[in-house]
Structure 1
Amino acid sequence: MTNKNNEYSIKAISPIDGRYSSQIDQEINNINSEFGLIKKRLYVEIKWFIFLSSLKPINKKFSLNKSEKDYLLKINKNFDIKDALKIKDIEKITNHDVKSVEYFLKDKFDKHKTLKNKKELIHFCATSEDINNISYALMFKESRDILLKKLNDLCRIIKKYEIKYADTSMLSRTHGQKASPTTFGKELKVFTSRLDKQSLFMKKRSVFAKMNGAVGNYNAHHFVLPEVKWNVETKKFLKSIGLEQNQFTTQIENHDWLSESLNDITMISNILLDFSKDMWIYIMLDYIKQKNIKTEVGSSTMPHKVNPINFENAEGNLEITTALSQSISKKLMSSRLQRDLTDSTVLRNLGVIYAHFYISISSLIKGMNKIDINILKINEDLNVSWEVLAEPIMTVMRYHNVDNSYDIIKQATRGKEINQDTIKDIINKSDLKNTIKNKLLKLEPKDYIGLAKKLTTKKN
């Protein structure tokens, strides 16, 4: 990072552009910044112009040759910061962000010997929201690919631990109390299974857009060119740029798909929050050791500490992600009558959600890369937790029709100090056959893991 960038970063109000700027994929910035939005608007205007020029009877007046098409595509390909600043300068005069893009494009047409005579087709029959909703839809798709790739990177790391510790017995805890043993790998499998499902929902969700004019009725389109099947042609246009058509809209695209997509992010974030908290607790229990980085400081006053900062950082960023996702998802579901402008400022914060989501995943990846499993401590806790065998003893007694099985075990174990001798005594005093007693007497907490290993190694 250059000194100039460092200065900008240290003066930034948002930690996204400040402290955490180096932790974000720069493509997230490029796509969702003001520059990214302007560039995407320009792209949509150019693609719409090219599409219109091929339609009958428009092509009789505005058909394009290969040279003209190449010129138009280069405008977008070569678009840079200087161009974006020119558009911002135009906006100072027009006080309209989309119209400024149109005027910028017209200026480019004026510099071409033949296109200058076709510039009135720019933004033809389009309302600003036609350009905007398509731009945001395309920006979301590109951002989604980056976010899901990062999430997949995290899941891949978790799955390595999952397989490695598929048969590593560990006490489970329900209500914070000791419960039936599980394996460390299986508990990780719970999370990767949930994440795989939700990420697939997010990936497969269709992204919709509209190109139907001022209030969604093709008013201008139909009045000027009634012979064109506009709903069919605009569907073709949207499909050509990778979007589905929403046929029934007001001036704005209804945002339902976007609200659903933000709910996908909320779902995944909440799963990751659950994961972060569990990892934090395993660290607290000393089941997980964090690798000591010699140059790092854990506490300004307690030199011995190695804090779970990556999991805590992830937790904080996930809380922000879910708060913004839920708030914006709810807001986008309504707009007064055929349009109000409140969604405009809200949509500009989508990149903020994506950035915090990305930062949280990055933090979890860092955290996972710095852990070791403390087998000694896990086994130590198992070896002093014989009370967890109350369940299998009671279940066997029930199966063999021993009267009051539950109450017998409850009276012998609930709220009492239980050790191996206690368990042996319960088994020996039971009315079970000796062969069954012998099987129970051989059972240790570490062996009582059911199908945990098999479940862990099973594909979803």
Structure 2
Amino acid sequence: MREDDAVTDQPAVSRTSARVAADLGEVTLSPLDGRYRPAVEGLLEHLSEPALNRERLRIEVAWLLHLTKRQVLPGVRRLRDDEVHRLHGIAAAFDADTVLELKDIEKVTVHDVKAVEYLLKQRMAGTSLEDLSEVVHFACTSEDVNNLAYARLVQRAVREVWLPAAGALVEQLGGMARQYRSVPMLSRTHGQPATPTTMGKELAVLAHRLQRQLSRVRSADYLGKINGATGTYAAHVVAAPEADWEDVARDFVEGLGLTWNPLTTQIESHDWQAELYADIARFNRVLHNLCTDVWTYISQGYFTQLTTAGSVGSSTMPHKVNPIRFENAEANLELSNALLDVLQQTLVTSRLQRDLTDSTTQRNIGVGLGHSLVAIDNVRRGLTSLDVDGAVLDRDLEGAWEVLGEAVQTVMRLHGLPNPYERLKELTRGRRVDAAAMAEFVRGLGLPEDTEKRLLALTPQSYTGLADRLVDHVEPAWHPSADGLEDVDLVP
């Protein structure tokens, strides 16, 4: 029985559909393979079907090398240097022709991992390695190979593609926070005018939140196992009872740059994947919050959008410059999270010692990360087109002197004046207060001269507290680390 979700009986393609496909050229079902392809290109190296089969082959080669090096199997000889090099060459030579060859083998085996095993044996046939043919895939269930292949592929996709893109976005956002750190802006809590802030501080809040999620993703564990059909090393022990199979397995898994999982069923439990996808989904949700906030600032006129020659905002209203980058990002983040949420929910459950719900689920990891990458790309391009309109910000602040009521009543409390909150509430609640009305109120309080002078000098534009300084909590530069990610002798 094939250990994946594919069916052998493929539906017939109608002649009409085939003719339309031919007329249209290359037709794709997913936009990730069509209009969004440039944003996700890097994932193909790690999370495509050919990438999975290439990594399976690399794992099979690495396991054979490990067993011969450790000398744990009776009668199995050590490899000569030229034989080690030959095995490396088999793994390194995986190309488009190999992909087609594997498809042909799989038509016979009706099993994708077995096809990889047979391919390796065919490559060893007729060489000095032929006597070691049956050591290939020794004591392995398919999931021993699959879990290690997926762990390394996801590890590389996240560290080499997703994290650099996400990190560049956060660094760009941090730069904007520093640029606008001193630009005062009227806050809105519950949509109503509130204590002023700065545009830079508000962008810094989002950058700081995103940085925290990136740190979690960067420190993620990637687990692996190689312990047989139900995780007991049963076949291993029968074949070579003198070997310390737990040590052999630990050494192999850790040598791949992964964390060894000592207790599993037939499958590695995938909990690490659920943890990772939850963290990426949380990053996506914070980024979604950024999109909705920036969209709102654009609608308020706080941000203007720079245009390019020939661009069109609306097909019928020529004056419009639509915030499409942020709207597109919102939708892609929602699609990404729909998949990432399914992945983390499905992958932590496997009936008894094994079911195949994880097989088709894991084939969509690249799609989940892909939609996140499309969103990141759109946000980055959207942020590049923004410029703050200081006149609009100043106009809103000038029309909201009532927000100084918080400062005045706080000073009144400090000096023991009666009913400060209630008196400011009577002055300001539900009404607009201008500079003259606020000054008249302050002068009537009988505060000490220096305190009165300080309050009279206060404006909505200057009532921003430590907002400017708080921006410094955003790291000036954030770069993902690839520490510990090595080729571990899988290729020469």
TM-score, normalised relative to structure 1: 0.96
Please, which of 39, 43, 46 is the counterpart of residue 23 of structure 1? 39
Please, which of 125, 129, 144 is the counterpart of residue 130 of structure 1? 144
The equivalent residue for 1:193 is 208
SS for the counterpart of 1:118 is helix
Does the aligned pair in 2 maintain the 1:318–1:357 contact within 8 Å?
Answer: yes
The equivalent residue for 1:373 is 388
The equivalent residue for 1:327 is 342
Does the aligned pair in 1 maintain the 2:335–2:371 contact within 8 Å?
Answer: yes
Note if 1:455 corresponds to 2:470. Answer: yes
The equivalent residue for 1:118 is 132
The equivalent residue for 1:14 is 30
SS for the counterpart of 2:70 is coil
> What do the CA deviations read for 1:260-301 (whole angstroms, capped 9, x no partner)?
000011110011001111111111111111101121111111
| Aligned ranges 1:264-303 → 2 under 5 Å | 264-303=279-318
SS for the counterpart of 1:62 is coil
SS for the counterpart of 2:150 is helix
CA–CA separation in structure 1 for the residues paired with 2:26 and 2:308: 25
**Backbone CA RMSD of aligned residues:** 1.6
Q: Residue 129 of structure 2 aligns to which amino acid in structure 1?
A: L
Identify if the C-alpha distance between structure 1 residues 10 and 419 changes in structure 2 by more than 3 Å, giving closer, same or farther: farther
Q: Residue 196 of structure 1 aligns to which amino acid in structure 2?
A: Q
Task: Give the deviation of 1:27 after TM superposition.
Answer: 2.6
Q: Residue 43 of structure 1 aligns to which amino acid in structure 2?
A: R
Q: Residue 441 of structure 1 aligns to which amino acid in structure 2?
A: L
Does the aligned pair in 2 maintain the 1:91–1:97 contact within 8 Å?
Answer: yes
SS for the counterpart of 2:33 is coil
CA–CA separation in structure 1 for the residues paired with 2:213 and 2:23: 39
The equivalent residue for 1:415 is 430
| Aligned ranges 1:135-174 → 2 under 5 Å | 135-145=149-159, 146-174=161-189
CA–CA separation in structure 2 for the residues paired with 1:9 and 1:455: 54
Note if 1:387 corresponds to 2:402. Answer: yes
* Count of aligned residue pairs for this structure pair: 454
Does the aligned pair in 1 maintain the 2:291–2:379 contact within 8 Å?
Answer: yes
Task: Give the deviation of 1:433 after TM superposition.
Answer: 2.9
Identify if the C-alpha distance between structure 1 residues 10 and 85 changes in structure 2 by more than 3 Å, giving closer, same or farther: closer
Identity fraction in percent: 39
The equivalent residue for 2:322 is 307
Task: Give the deviation of 1:375 after TM superposition.
Answer: 1.1
Please, which of 258, 263, 266 is the counterpart of residue 248 of structure 1? 263
Q: Residue 69 of structure 1 aligns to which amino acid in structure 2?
A: V
Task: Give the deviation of 1:57 after TM superposition.
Answer: 3.9
SS for the counterpart of 1:123 is coil
CA–CA separation in structure 1 for the residues paired with 2:280 and 2:175: 24
Q: Residue 288 of structure 2 aligns to which amino acid in structure 1?
A: L
Identify if the C-alpha distance between structure 1 residues 7 and 286 changes in structure 2 by more than 3 Å, giving closer, same or farther: farther
CA–CA separation in structure 1 for the residues paired with 2:36 and 2:473: 38
Q: Residue 385 of structure 2 aligns to which amino acid in structure 1?
A: K
Task: Give the deviation of 1:223 after TM superposition.
Answer: 1.0
Q: Residue 221 of structure 2 aligns to which amino acid in structure 1?
A: S
Q: Residue 219 of structure 2 aligns to which amino acid in structure 1?
A: K
Note if 1:101 corresponds to 2:111. Answer: no
The equivalent residue for 1:356 is 371
SS for the counterpart of 1:372 is strand
Note if 1:402 corresponds to 2:417. Answer: yes
CA–CA separation in structure 2 for the residues paired with 1:82 and 1:31: 18
Note if 1:439 corresponds to 2:454. Answer: yes
The equivalent residue for 1:3 is none
Task: Give the deviation of 1:8 after TM superposition.
Answer: 8.5
Please, which of 37, 53, 59 is the counterpart of residue 68 of structure 2? 53
Task: Give the deviation of 1:397 after TM superposition.
Answer: 0.5
CA–CA separation in structure 1 for the residues paired with 2:196 and 2:172: 24
Does the aligned pair in 2 maintain the 1:9–1:17 contact within 8 Å?
Answer: no
Does the aligned pair in 2 maintain the 1:287–1:374 contact within 8 Å?
Answer: yes
Task: Give the deviation of 1:380 after TM superposition.
Answer: 1.4
Task: Give the deviation of 1:459 after TM superposition.
Answer: 5.2
Does the aligned pair in 1 maintain the 2:71–2:78 contact within 8 Å?
Answer: no
SS for the counterpart of 1:445 is coil
Task: Give the deviation of 1:76 after TM superposition.
Answer: 1.4
Does the aligned pair in 1 maintain the 2:208–2:473 contact within 8 Å?
Answer: no
Task: Give the deviation of 1:435 after TM superposition.
Answer: 3.0
> What do the CA deviations read for 1:33-80 (whole angstroms, capped 9, x no partner)?
110111010110000010011122437523211111111111111110
Identify if the C-alpha distance between structure 1 residues 57 and 133 changes in structure 2 by more than 3 Å, giving closer, same or farther: closer
Task: Give the deviation of 1:165 after TM superposition.
Answer: 1.1
Task: Give the deviation of 1:171 after TM superposition.
Answer: 0.8
CA–CA separation in structure 1 for the residues paired with 2:385 and 2:154: 32
Q: Residue 33 of structure 2 aligns to which amino acid in structure 1?
A: D
The equivalent residue for 2:236 is 221
CA–CA separation in structure 2 for the residues paired with 1:57 and 1:335: 32
The equivalent residue for 1:86 is 101
Identify if the C-alpha distance between structure 1 residues 9 and 161 changes in structure 2 by more than 3 Å, giving closer, same or farther: farther
Does the aligned pair in 2 maintain the 1:259–1:330 contact within 8 Å?
Answer: yes
Q: Mean alpha-carbon deviation: is it higher for 434-443 or for 362-371?
A: 434-443
CA–CA separation in structure 1 for the residues paired with 2:305 and 2:218: 33
Does the aligned pair in 1 maintain the 2:105–2:115 contact within 8 Å?
Answer: yes
Q: Mean alpha-carbon deviation: is it higher for 150-159 or for 214-223?
A: 150-159
Does the aligned pair in 1 maintain the 2:74–2:240 contact within 8 Å?
Answer: no
SS for the counterpart of 1:447 is coil
- Long gaps (5+) in structure 2: 1-21, 476-492
SS for the counterpart of 1:395 is helix
Does the aligned pair in 2 maintain the 1:387–1:419 contact within 8 Å?
Answer: yes
CA–CA separation in structure 1 for the residues paired with 2:243 and 2:450: 85
CA–CA separation in structure 2 for the residues paired with 1:417 and 1:454: 30
Does the aligned pair in 2 maintain the 1:402–1:431 contact within 8 Å?
Answer: no
> What do the CA deviations read for 1:127-161 (whole angstroms, capped 9, x no partner)?
10000000100011101111111111111111111
Task: Give the deviation of 1:322 after TM superposition.
Answer: 1.1
